[in-house]
Amino acid sequence: MKTTFTFLITVFLFFNACTPDKLAEMSRENFEDGASQYKYMMKKLPDGVFPKTFENGEFKTSGSGWWCSGFYPGSLIYLYEQTKDDSLLMETKRILEILKKEQYNTTTHDLGFMMYCSFGNMQTIDPKPEYKEILLNSAKSLSSRFSEKTACIKSWDSKKEDFLVIIDNMMNLELLFWATQETGDSTYYDIAVTHANTTMENHFRPDYSSYHVLNYDSQTGEVKEKRTAQGYADSSAWARGQSWGLYGYTVVYRFTHDEKYLKQAEHIANFILNHPNLPEDKIPYWDYDVPNIPNAKRDASAGAVMGSAFLELAKYVDQESADKYKAAAKTIIETLSSPEYKAEICTNGGFVLKHSVGHFDQGTEVDVPLTYADYYFFEAMKRYLEW
Q: Which residue ranges are tagged as binding site?
A: 110, 168, 228, 240, 244
* Helix residue spans in 163-214 (DSSP H): 173-183, 186-202
Residue in 117, 150, 138 with CA at minimum distance from that of residue 183: 138
The Cα angle at residue 327 between residues 326 and 330, in degrees rounded to 5: 85
Whether 302 and 242 have beta carbons less than 8 Å apart is answered as yes
CA distance 301 to 260: 27
110 noted as active-site residue: yes
Give Cβ neighbours of residue 249 (< 8 Å, ≥ 6 apart): 170, 196, 200, 261, 262, 264, 265, 268
- The DSSP annotation for 71-82 comes to HHHHHHHHHHHH
CA distance 195 to 191: 6
Binding residues for substrate: 110, 168, 228, 240, 244
Residue 129 CB neighbours (<10 A): 8
207 noted as active-site residue: no
CA distance 90 to 126: 13
Task: Identify the active-site residue in 47, 85, 86, 110.
Answer: 110
Task: Identify the active-site residue in 168, 287, 299, 374.
Answer: 168
Hey, which residues are catalytic here?
A: 110, 168
